[in-house]
Amino acid sequence: MIAECCKAEKGHDLLEVSMGPHHPSTHGVFRMDVVLDGETVVKLKPVFGYLHRNHEKIAEKNSYLASIPYTDRLDYICSMTNNWAYVLTVEKLSGISVPERSEYIRIIVSELTRLFNHTCLAGFLLQDMGALGTPLMYAFREREKILDLFEALTGSRMMCNYMRFGGCRCDVSADWIKQASAVVDRYSPFLEEFEALITGNEILRVRSQGVGILSGDLAVNAGVTGPMLRASGVNYDIRKVDNYGLYGRFEFRVPLGQTGDVFDRYMVRILEMHESIKILKAALLTIPAGPIMDPKAKLRNLRPKTGEAYGRIEGPKGELGFYLISDGTANPYRYRVRPPSLVNLTILEDMCLGQTIADVVVILGSVDIVLGEVDR
Amino acid sequence: MITMQTLPEIKVRLENAVPGARIEIVANDSPANQPSLLIDAEHGRAIAQFLRDDPEFKFDYASNVTGIDWLGKTPGYLEAVYHLYSVALRQGPLILRLRTENRSDKVTLPSLTPVWRSCELQEREIFDLYGIIFDEHPDLRRILMWDGFVDHPMRKDYVEPDDYEYEPTPHDDVLEKARLHYPAKEAAV
Amino acid sequence: MIDTKLRDDLRKQGVVATSFQELYNWGRKNSIWPLQFGLACCAIEMIAASMARFDMARFGAEVFRPSPRQADLMIVAGTVTKKMAPQVIRLFNQMPEPKYVIAMGACAISGGPFKQGYNVLKGVDRFIPVDVHIPGCPPRPEALLEALMALQRKIAAQSLTGEDRPRFLDAEASGEFPVPEFGEHDLVPASNPEVWRPALVRRD
């Protein structure tokens, strides 16, 4: 159907290809209807909904506490940051405050999540470029070390279900802090090894520099957030802008890209990992003693006053926001997730026009989508 | 932070800039302190354009577009809520609300996609799940459900298709649904 | 079948006595090629199971084929939604016999935590026959390895002749299952009655 309207203009046949939903490189069940002129992309329409799990409708029947495990499953690679975005919004909605030690713990686990998310992205991006397996093996090896920490803390590797309104579920022990410090100390040499193997690699450079360029103005207008926005040169990191949690106490820089191509997005993520390691080292060193839950915080039967709140955090993929409307009962009236991956996909077509079909795979890899978030 | 103090000034500036616009402030009782502006559908796009282009506002980033179904109100209506931020001037969120007239036939709202591209996929989702029709949206079709689907699932009065499955300990409405499928009392073992 | 004690004693002496069935099944079970088919969160644990720490390659299942025509095993990892269900069944139909299905995770078994959803298929076994179920949300990679071993035991126990021979050796049985269509409110049909019937248990 799409090819019919394009045929008349060009005068020769165009090929319509449906990439997905079952495809080795679409990062989940994502489908792209691509119209090709030879190998060049003429039109691209993303199709999703293959993982639409009705999270928002289910949350309207659940209490506020019962929705926390569901938030783990949104961006299923980074469960801790999803938890934080949701509990932040509920705390805004009901005016619950968080003790200092809890804020430090939240920052530590979120930055650990950001570390392994960006590492896995580097692995998956290189897998898409054809380096079958090896960078991904290195990335997952490091991820396993961090997952061991999460399992010791929360009992689960991936779906941690750790944060609560007014704090965290359980306290970190001194032994855990020691192990976490050891993991973080070994991370910088790992990153140097990874970069030495990969960043200077000719194939990566040729396939990613100049590919999928996104300008800063179009990125802001299209609602792009996260490392993709910063790679296009726009300095907007919600950790600095909103100053949520206690991020104001930590010194870290915000890496910016220049051209906004795939290579810039990759490098921004690598540099963000270095900044995360700085934050982690400082937080693990200076974590204060104290309670981890606000003693007046109510978890079960939380009935916030009638009203609404929008809370957002800088997740590893971009701005993860939650919009909650409360009508005074135990269940939210409207529960909305603002998914970074969905909004980042708005300009996928613009980035891919004129590129070859092989570049589409690489560009999609650099957007860093997770279908659990796109479809909810 | 845009709060109840700054919002009346914003309202006055908008009313001056877009003549004929009807704007109300909707209060928000929760500790979040995020009141919103209710704007009318006719001047929606003009207001949005002004908010984006005016050098003092420069709301160049529409972060979140939400659909809400207010079934309980009389008459019930559907609503689209826009959260706007300014990347250039580091301010926000400014919250805009647009309401339809009812839930059945007058469900059209102006699309703000020509102003902010980030609304494109989110407005499609609201069309899919709530049924609000956005005027001048470049590509308004279903996004999460399949094309042949006729219902709007996120509405409060949506009834799911009957899909009985075994539950070990059913209670409340699940038990009601399951009872319809149990064998007749005489045939029970 | 040969007496297993006698067979093991002979093997210790360096004499291998086996049956055709054992040899045939041994070759098949030690080189199962899974289809690269991750839907949701369980897919990440499936990838972790094939990575260096848990290493599915030891079981012969390292080669994840992207094409269903070359795969023996479909690990349905993640929630199957109604929008995706026709594609899952079409892929299963495209796999050549002998083929097996592992339903990994609570979502693939019965809909999981999303069972109340209007777009969620409450279990992939509504449409295709499943050989091994792995509970968990997500199941650990070790659980996936245990399921693979359970499947290997199942394959080893399959007889080649007789009434209980598997589907692929039965000329009457078909390996293709009907693909549902998208209806106006739901999939049409909502389940495959030959594969799955709802359990009618009274609970008053």
Q: Compute the mean pLDDT over every residue in chain A, rounded to the nearest whole number.
A: 89
* CATH for the stretch A55-351: 1.10.645.10
Mean local confidence (pLDDT), A293-316: 87
Residue of B nearest to C119 (CA): B145
Q: What superfamily would CATH give domain B7-156?
A: NADH:ubiquinone oxidoreductase Nqo5 subunit (3.30.460.80)
Under DSSP, the state recorded for C139 is P
Task: Tell which residue, A74, A241, A225, has the closest CA to residue B93.
Answer: A241
* Whether the bond into C189 is cis, omega within 30 of 0: yes
Cβ <8 Å between C118 and B161: yes
Cβ <8 Å between C39 and A51: yes
CA angle A224, A311, A254 (to 5 degrees): 50
Task: Tell which residue, C2, C4, C59, C5, has the closest CA to residue C32.
Answer: C59
Cβ <8 Å between C117 and A70: no
Q: How confident is the model at residue B185 (pLDDT cuts 50, 70, 90)?
A: low
Could you give the 3-state DSSP secondary structure of residue B91?
Answer: strand
Could you tell me if residue A296 is left (phi over 0), alpha (psi between -120 and 50 degrees) or otherwise beta? alpha
Distance CA(C186)–CA(C86), nearest Å, equals 12
Structure tokens at C64: 């994840």
Provide the residue ranges of all domains of chain A, joining segments of one domain with +: 55-351
Distance CA(C47)–CA(C36), nearest Å, equals 9
Provide the residue ranges of all domains of chain B, joining segments of one domain with +: 7-156
Q: Which of A118-127, A294-303, B64-73 has the lowest mean pLDDT?
A: A294-303
A and C: number of Cβ contacts within 8 A? 89
Task: State residue A292's pLDDT score.
Answer: 87
CA angle C93, C96, C101 (to 5 degrees): 65
Which residues of chain A neighbour B87 with C-beta distances below 8 Å? 220, 234, 236
Residues of B with CB under 8 A from a CB of C: 144-151, 153, 158, 160-161, 163-167, 169-170, 175, 178, 181-183, 188-189
| Cβ-based burial of A5 (10 A; exposed 0-12, middle 13-18, buried ≥19) | exposed
Q: What is the DSSP string of A266-288?
A: HHHHHHHHHHHHHHHHHHHHHPP
Q: How confident is the model at residue B1 (pLDDT cuts 50, 70, 90)?
A: low
pLDDT tens for residues A129-180?
A: 888 888 889 999 999 999 999 999 999 998 989 999 988 999 999 999 999 9
Task: State residue C203's pLDDT score.
Answer: 60
pLDDT tens for residues A75-109?
A: 899 999 999 999 999 999 988 889 999 999 999 99
Distance CA(A280)–CA(A193), nearest Å, equals 20
Instruction: Confirm if B98 and B109 have CB atoms less than 8 A apart.
Output: yes
Instruction: Confirm if A329 and A303 have CB atoms less than 8 A apart.
Output: yes
Q: Is the dihedral of CA B94, B98, B103, B107 positive or negative?
A: negative
- From first CA to last CA, the distance across chain C in angstroms is 49
Distance CA(A45)–CA(B143), nearest Å, equals 11
Which residues of chain C neighbour B150 with C-beta distances below 8 Å? 184-185
Provide the residue ranges of all domains of chain C, joining segments of one domain with +: 18-160+174-188
Give percent of chain C above pLDDT 90.
32
- From first CA to last CA, the distance across chain A in angstroms is 29
Task: State residue B178's pLDDT score.
Answer: 75
Task: State residue A1's pLDDT score.
Answer: 47
pLDDT exceeds cutoff 60 at A7: no
Task: Tell which residue, C30, C41, C143, C90, has the closest CA to residue A69.
Answer: C41
Q: For B68, which of A52, A334, A343 is closest by C-beta distance?
A: A334
pLDDT tens for residues B81-95?
A: 999 999 988 887 889
- Give the C window 100-139 contacts with B, CB below 8 Å: 110-111, 115, 118-119, 122-123
Residue of A nearest to C76 (CA): A22
B and C: number of Cβ contacts within 8 A? 52
- Residue B145, min C-alpha distance to chain C (Å): 7
SS3 for B15-69 is HHHCCCCCEEEECCCCCCCCCEEEECCCCHHHHHHHHHHCCCCCCCEEEEEEEEE
Cβ <8 Å between A144 and C53: yes
Distance CA(B66)–CA(A323), nearest Å, equals 8
CA C100 to each of CA A226, B186, C35: distance values in angstroms, whole numbers, following the listed order = 41, 41, 10
Q: How confident is the model at residue A376 (pLDDT cuts 50, 70, 90)?
A: confident
Kindly calculate the radius of gyration of chain C based on its CA atoms and give it in whole angstroms. 19
Q: For A73, which of C41, C51, C91 is closest by C-beta distance?
A: C41
Interface residue of B130, B160, B163 to substitute, partner C, most C CBs within 10 Å: B163
Subunits with 3+ C-beta pairs closer than 8 A to B: A, C
Instruction: State the fold for domain C18-160+174-188.
Output: Rossmann fold (3.40.50)
C-alpha of B63 from chain center: 13
Q: How confident is the model at residue A3 (pLDDT cuts 50, 70, 90)?
A: low
H helices, E strands: number in chain A: 16, 8
Distance CA(A293)–CA(A167), nearest Å, equals 4
Q: How many Cα atoms occupy the beta-carbon half-sphere of A353 within 13 Å?
A: 7
Which residues of chain C neighbour B151 with C-beta distances below 8 Å? 184-185
Instruction: Confirm if C177 and C95 have CB atoms less than 8 A apart.
Output: no
Distance CA(A102)–CA(A246), nearest Å, equals 10
Subunits with 3+ C-beta pairs closer than 8 A to A: B, C
